Amino acid sequence: MRTVLRTDVGKARKINEDAAYAGGSLCIVCDGMGGHQAGEVASNQAVDVITAALSSEEPSVCGLLDAVAKANEHVYRNSLSDKRLTGMGTTLTMLWMDAGQVILAQIGDSRAYLLRGGVLRQCTHDHSVVAEMVRMGSITPEEARTHPRRNLITRSLGTDPRVEADIFEVSRRPGDRWLICSDGLTDHVTDAEIAAILAGDNLYEAADTLLALALDRGGSDNITLILLEDEGGGDTP
Ligand code: MG
């Protein structure tokens, strides 16, 4: 398993409210929101709680859902205990890999993409106002990219006593390449561009190219991305 993680404050924001983790078979991207620096607190707490909860666990859907519930409870409780943190929350897109499959958990509008056999597929569904509008046919995917409400999410971790994560399970195949990213990337880079760049030989170069493209086009938000190449077999005894 090879992973590359890049995170950047972008060109418009003062602080980076994204948080991420890539290690072993676990990758997490969280995009925090809230006034002042509360978003940064929410995203970092979510990553910390989940990585701690899963550090000695074998990958399973149950274990993953438990960790997400723990993180939600932690962020929610903290948001109530400190006025400056009121209403903070975060997206969560995470990938956990075992010997045979990849488990994804999704809350909000960060994304997981899979490039397999040259074809790119978004494996998560955004929980956002514009994604709902696209599903209902009231706007096109192209219109969603520039819609004024495109950053409004309909589900987040830490803003309510309970949260439901979408779970997706995908069988592994050697050579698969995964991208987990915040909307700071996908606001500026199209799926077709992601597919072309992800297909390049060098994973590190691909990560740098994606980040540079988002920055060149304005870097209007924090940008976080993790690339993972599944070299297949031998990862789990
Ligand atoms: Mg963002």
Q: What is the pLDDT of residues 180-207, one digit of tens each?
A: 999 999 999 999 999 999 999 999 999 9
- With a cut of 50, say whether residue 212 has pLDDT above it: yes
Distance 206 CA to ligand 1 centre (A): 20
| Tokens of residue 77, six digits | 């409780």
Using CA atoms, how far residue 222 sits from 28, 33, 155, 175, 229, in Å, is: 15, 11, 19, 29, 24
How far apart CA 194 and CA 187 sit, in angstroms, is 12
- With a cut of 80, say whether residue 35 has pLDDT above it: no
Distance 221 CA to ligand 1 centre (A): 6
Using CA atoms, how far residue 231 sits from 110, 127, 177, 178, in Å, is: 24, 31, 9, 12
Using CA atoms, how far residue 190 sits from 48, 92, 232, in Å, is: 30, 21, 28
Q: What is the pLDDT of residues 153-181, one digit of tens each?
A: 999 999 999 999 999 999 999 999 999 99
Query: What pLDDT is recorded for position 93?
Result: 98
Query: What pLDDT is recorded for position 235?
Result: 44
Query: What pLDDT is recorded for position 136?
Result: 94
Distance 236 CA to ligand 1 centre (A): 34
| Tokens of residue 9, six digits | 């404050």
Please report, rounded to a whole number, the percentage of residues in the chain having pLDDT higher than 90: 90
Distance 99 CA to ligand 1 centre (A): 32
Distance 17 CA to ligand 1 centre (A): 8
Work out the mean pLDDT of the chain and round it to a whole number: 94
- With a cut of 50, say whether residue 146 has pLDDT above it: yes
Distance 183 CA to ligand 1 centre (A): 5
* CA–CA–CA angle 208, 156, 98 (5° rounding): 60
Distance 30 CA to ligand 1 centre (A): 9
Distance 90 CA to ligand 1 centre (A): 10
pTM beyond 0.85, yes or no: yes
Mean pLDDT for 103-129 is 97
Distance 15 CA to ligand 1 centre (A): 12
